[in-house]
Amino acid sequence: MSNDTVKIFDTTLRDGEQSPGCSMTTSEKLKVAKELVALGVDIIEAGFPIASPGDFDAVRKIATQFGDQTTICGLARCRKEDIDRAWEALKEAKNSRIHVFLATSSIHREHKLKMSKEQIIETAVEMVKRARDYCPDIEFSPEDAARTEKDFLCEVVERAIEAGASTVNIPDTVGYATPAHFHDVITTLKKNVSNIDQAIISTHCHNDLGLAVANSLAAVEAGARQIECTINGLGERAGNCALEEVVMALKTRADYYGVNTNINTKRLYPISHLVSTVTGMAVQRNKAIVGKNAFAHEAGIHQHGVLQERTTYEIMSPEDVGYVGTNLVLGKHSGRHAFRDRVQSLGHTLDDATFERIFNEFITLADKKKEIYDSDIVALIENQVSDAPEKWSIARFHTSAGTGTIATATIELADEDGKIHCDAATGDGPVDAVFRALERITGISAVLEQYHVGSVSSGKDAQGEVRVEVRINGEMFNGRSVSTDIIESSAKAYLQAINKAVGRGEN
Q: Which residues are annotated as a binding site for Mn(2+)?
A: 15, 204, 206, 240
Annotated binding site: which residue ranges? 15, 204, 206, 240
Angle between helix 212-222 and helix 243-252 axes, rounded to 10 deg: 50
Distance CA 410, CA 403 (A): 19
> How many CA atoms are closer than 13 Å to the CA of 20, on its beta-carbon side?
10
Neighbours of 240 (CB within 10 A): 31
Distance CA 208, CA 205 (A): 9
DSSP 111: I
189 contacts 157 by C-beta, under 8 angstroms: yes
Angle of CA points 18, 56, 76, to nearest 5°: 70
H-helix segments, 164-264:
179-192, 212-222, 243-252, 254-257
Nearest residue to 493 via CA among 364, 361, 357, 385 = 385
Distance CA 249, CA 317 (A): 13
DSSP 231: G
Angle between helix 53-66 and helix 80-90 axes, rounded to 10 deg: 40
348 contacts 38 by C-beta, under 8 angstroms: no
| Full DSSP string of 466-506 | EEEEEEETTEEEEEEEEESSHHHHHHHHHHHHHHHHHHHHH
Distance CA 116, CA 12 (A): 33
Taking the alpha carbons of 465, 506, 470, 239 in that order, is the dihedral positive or negative? Answer: negative
Looking at the chain, how many residues does it have? 507
Q: What are phi and psi of 201, to 5 degrees?
A: -85, 130
Distance CA 16, CA 464 (A): 27
Nearest residue to 238 via CA among 271, 274, 213, 265 = 213
The gap from C-alpha 487 to its chain's centroid, in whole angstroms, comes to 28
